[in-house]
Amino acid sequence: MAGFGKAILISIMAVAAILVLFNMAFLFPWYMEIIETTFEVTQMIATDNYLTFENYTEVYETLKNKPIFCEMRDSVKIEAFHADGRKSAIEAANPPGYDVNYYYDKEIDEKPYVQMGNLVTVYISATYPFRMEILGRSIVATEIPVTFSMTTSTTRHYKDLPYDYGISGDYFYDYDD
């Protein structure tokens, strides 16, 4: 009887090990997709100095519709922040009458972009559903929240911002007269 109990225990542990390894085989490419998307978004931000609404919606919808991500759609988040803490991503639709010069007349703090050479950090977070297939039913055992961030430097010069517009959102003045 002890041998039968050991055999059952070994079988259960072997099945559990296979399920864990099987989930890890899917976790690695899923995580690599988050890393690749974060890099893609940082390149978009480095070009425009902020994440435009069109780029944001394109990346967000594409990521939400990928395998495994589509199971936990509500957990997918894309955020971008300037070094001073202001948001750099436009997540709401542009107002009616929006054109290229829409932000040109706004106050400096209302502009989503900064001057070239400033830092923008991108955060992409999602939840991985750690699941098991038992008797033909898929059971989510646990959810693993993952966040990946990457920082980029902006490369575009805007004429409507002062040349010395600093990282803190203020002007840098030289007090050494």
Give the largest CA-CA distance in the chain.
92
| Mean pLDDT of the 19-43 span | 89
Residue 157 phi, psi (nearest 5): -100, 125
| Mean pLDDT of the 46-50 span | 85
pLDDT of residue 31 exceeding 50, the answer is yes
Hey, what amino acid is at 47?
T
Q: Where are the domains of the chain?
A: 27-153
71-98 tens-digit pLDDT: 888 999 999 888 777 777 776 666 666 6
Give the angle subtended at the CA of 164 by the CAs of 166 and 108, to the nearest 5°.
Answer: 65
pLDDT of residue 144 exceeding 80, the answer is yes
Q: Which of 43-47, 74-78, 152-156, 159-163 has the lowest mean pLDDT?
A: 159-163
pLDDT the model gives residue 77: 93
